[in-house]
Amino acid sequence: MRVNAFRVAASVLLVATGAFAASHRNGPLLLEDQTANLNDFYIFRSWEQGHTNSVVMSMSVQGFQNPDNGPSYYKFSNSVLYRFNVNNSRGLDGNPDMVVDFVFVDTIAPNAPFVSYLGQITSIDDPGIFLKETYVVVIRNLANNTAEFFFNDVNGHVLSVAPPNTGPKGTPNYEQNLGQPSIFTLSNGMRVFAGPRDDAFYFDSGATFDYLNFRAPAPVLSGAADQGQGAAYPNAVDGFAGYNISLIAVEAPINMLTANGSVPTATTDPNAHIAGWASTLRQQVTVRQSPNDPVQFGDYVGVDRVGNPLTVELLIPLGMKDYWNRSTPANDAQFAPLIGDPFFVDAVLKGVYGLNVPLAPRNDLLSVFVPDITRIDLTIPGIPNAQQSRLGPLGGDNAGWPVGGRRPGDDVVDIGLRAAAGVLVPGFNVAPNNELGDGVNSNDVPLLDRFPFHAPPHAGYLHSQANGTNGRGTPTGQ
């Protein structure tokens, strides 16, 4: 009877999170503005050979992209400013010291027919690309008020967005011909990428939102269900399998991101700890002068932001989500009462079901989520995919979330569930607190061990759908 109560409590914890660790459907107003809707933010030490002294930051935008949704495929917005924020001083207070902006521009070929892409596309400069997306990278150092603008790579090629993966006939050898050639090296040593990718987030969302209709062995995992590959379909279903996202990624040498331009080697060095988050911004005024295109005016203001992978879903009430999205991490102290004493933990897990959880104030949660920035210890080297623990520090792997940043393979759902149950607080790292999970332990397709690390996008011709669970999905990139 007590075990059943724990299972019910764990189920309530899962449902209370909404789309638990990714802002794929986040906030009422963002449902009307999907091109500005951020999904996930990643920051981690690279483990790619020759790039291990670099940090990768990436943001995913406009989730749940159906790969076969032509003839006009998903794209970045020309009116949205996509921004990476880096905080490297003042004790990581949520104020940016450096920002990296991506601004996108569309060019439609004068002879374009009714589709954006026509015929077999075999290169990023193929004449069959009728909708050409390019972008400008702007790097601002806020400490000394300088800015650098990049329109081209070191070879003079315009920075362009990778086209969609339509299938083996329309885009043969996708990753070789279109994916990897869309990685550009800037003259300052950074590498950048923008384009469609597989969504690296994994979670049994369908079971959660069918009124906690969980598939055994979830939501309390043990043995192979927790340590191994995990259950196969239909016992576990990744609700994000087969979907793509629009990814923006940047790789920068460590010394470009630290306050003093160093590469720290000791975790006690204050320069060893930086943090980041992603945000989207729009200009204050839009004039819709139909039939002409809209025109934007005024300063850029925040629309959405994402730092850690579960803040707005787990800790912020529905009526405050849009307000939270538009606020800045530096002002997150206003949300401390909600984060330090989460409603669902106190009122539901403890009050109704009697789960033994830490008392408020939850300083363990406050230290991670206020301000809501993803912190990274730059002295922890990156670890190849095959050697990573999906549970990060909970699995003895400090290169994962929330200590060493966040990697695409980190199981932030299970980490977050267990952290919310108090496993980081002495005396609470016990069953069932440390066994909570949704049963989906890995992405539907293998991640890359090289930049941009997300797997190539699913092809419109064939993709994983519901059977893509725990590494059993349809391979991408042909």
pLDDT at 30 over 90: no
Q: Which residues contact 177 (CB under 8 A, 6 or more apart)?
A: 121, 122, 123, 171
Give yes or no for a cis peptide into 196 (omega within 30° of 0): no
- Could you tell me the pTM of the whole model? 0.95
Q: Domain for residue 474, yes or no?
A: no
Q: For 316-408, where are the alpha helices, taking DSSP H only?
A: 321-326, 336-340, 343, 363-369
Q: What DSSP element (H or E) covers 224?
A: helix 224-227
pLDDT at 208 over 90: no
pLDDT of residue 72: 87
Q: Domain for residue 30, yes or no?
A: yes
Instruction: Determine if residue 5 is left, alpha or beta; phi over 0 gives left, psi from -120 to 50 gives alpha, anything else beta.
Output: alpha
Instruction: Pick the closest to residue 195 from 129, 256, 138, 274 (CA basis).
Output: 129
Question: In sequence order, what DSSP letters do the residues of 4-40 get, joined into one string?
Answer: HHHHHHHHHHHHHTSSTT--TT-STGGGG-GGG-EEE
Query: For residue 68, what are the domain limits?
Result: 2-467
pLDDT of residue 345: 72
- Residue 98 forms beta bridges with which residues? 86, 141
- Percent with pLDDT over 90 in the chain: 79
From CA 285, how far away is CA 295, in angstroms rounded?
8
For the chain, give the mean pLDDT: 91
Higher-scoring residue by pLDDT: 179, 4: 179
Is 363 strand, coil or helix? helix
Confidence at 467, pLDDT banded by 50, 70, 90 = confident
From CA 89, how far away is CA 224, in angstroms rounded?
43
Which segments within 288-426 are labelled E, that is strand? 295-306, 374-377
From CA 247, how far away is CA 222, in angstroms rounded?
34
Number of compact structural domains in the chain: 1
The CA angle 451-456-461, to the nearest 5 degrees, is 170
Q: Domain for residue 472, yes or no?
A: no
Burial 432-457 (b: 16+ CB within 10 A, else e): bbbbbbbbbbbbbbbbbeebbbbbbb
Q: Domain for residue 251, yes or no?
A: yes
pLDDT at 191 over 90: yes
Mean pLDDT of all residues in 95-104 = 98
Burial 13-24 (b: 16+ CB within 10 A, else e): bbbbbbbbbbbb
Confidence at 27, pLDDT banded by 50, 70, 90 = confident
- Crossing angle for the helix pair 412-420 and 2-16, nearest 10 degrees? 120
Burial of 461 (0-12, 13-18, 19+ CB in 10 A): middle
Q: Domain for residue 58, yes or no?
A: yes
Q: Domain for residue 205, yes or no?
A: yes
Q: What DSSP element (H or E) covers 315?
A: helix 311-315
For 366-377, what is each residue's pLDDT tens digit? 999 999 999 999
Count CB neighbours of 32 within 10 A. 9
CA atoms within 13 A of residue 193's CA, in its CB half-sphere:
28
Q: Lowest mean pLDDT of 163-177, 192-206, 464-478, name the range.
A: 464-478
Q: Domain for residue 246, yes or no?
A: yes
Amino acid at 76: F
Is 453 strand, coil or helix? coil
Record the tokens describing residue 323, joined without a space. Answer: 């307000």
Mean pLDDT of all residues in 198-225 = 89
Q: Domain for residue 243, yes or no?
A: yes
Mean pLDDT of all residues in 128-152 = 96
> CA 151, 153, 155, 157: dihedral to nearest 10 degrees?
-60
Residues 169 and 461 sit within 8 Å (Cβ to Cβ)? yes
Instruction: Pick the closest to residue 190 from 265, 277, 101, 305 (CA basis).
Output: 101
Burial of 336 (0-12, 13-18, 19+ CB in 10 A): middle
Residues 374 and 43 sit within 8 Å (Cβ to Cβ)? yes
